[in-house]
Amino acid sequence: MKKTLIAAALLAATQFAQAGAISHSTTGLSSPATTISFDEHVLGANDTVTTEWAAEGVSFTPFLRYTPQSGFPNITGATLGNFSPGPAPTTFELNFTTVQSAAAFAMVSNSSIWSFEALLGNTVVESFTTSVSLGDDNFYGFSGFNFDAIRVSGDDYMLLDNVQLNNVQTSNVPEPASMMLFGLGLAGLAAARRRKQA
């Protein structure tokens, strides 16, 4: 039984190690299937952005604006920002047209605290909070499990560029909760086998 429990724990640990947050990465995904640079469509400066990039794989909740700016690492040419009259909007979402197993994007802000949540069917499946600055290590996102949206919350101005998508729904990448149930099931089978042998 000990060997079975150890094997189940190692399998669960391996799956957890593969899943998680992408925070302060210098490159984001190692080999994205798609990178959206926001140069694919030309909009007017400060136009509100919602579904203009849906054909490329992502749409946005209406607090982001088309903001051509440069001068920051991984932020060049056309970008999206939350600049508007008055205080900066606090929450926006990237909604993917297909379920992703990995997605990341470059984002800069003024060394302020931001929260990132991966959602699947409006349920949070993973999250993290970190300080976002103007430095080189400015890719954020998630990898190793299925999700269909990323919600970003903060209380400062920001710029966003280079959205990287995996574009492949990975049915063989289990959710962390599924792995836990799988491990418990293996432990139960081992216990039942031990009782039967005794």
* pLDDT tens-digit series, residues 18-66: 469 999 999 999 999 999 999 999 999 889 999 999 999 999 987 899 9
Per-residue confidence band for 70, with pLDDT thresholds at 50, 70 and 90: confident
Nearest to 144 by CA among 114, 115, 183, 179: 179
From 114, 118, 104, select the one nearest 161 (Cα to Cα). Answer: 104
DSSP code, position 1: -
CA angle 81–82–85, rounded 5-degree value: 125
Tokens of 44: 């007017």
Residue 71 has pLDDT above 50, yes or no: yes
Residue 17, pLDDT above cutoff 80: no
pLDDT tens track for 126-183: 999 999 999 889 999 999 999 999 999 998 999 999 999 996 554 444 445 544 444 5
pLDDT category, 190, cuts 50, 70, 90?
Answer: low
User: pLDDT at position 168, please?
Assistant: 57
pLDDT at residue 25, rounded to an integer:
96
pTM comes to 0.76
Expressed in percent and rounded to 5, the helix, strand and coil fractions of the chain are 20, 40, 35
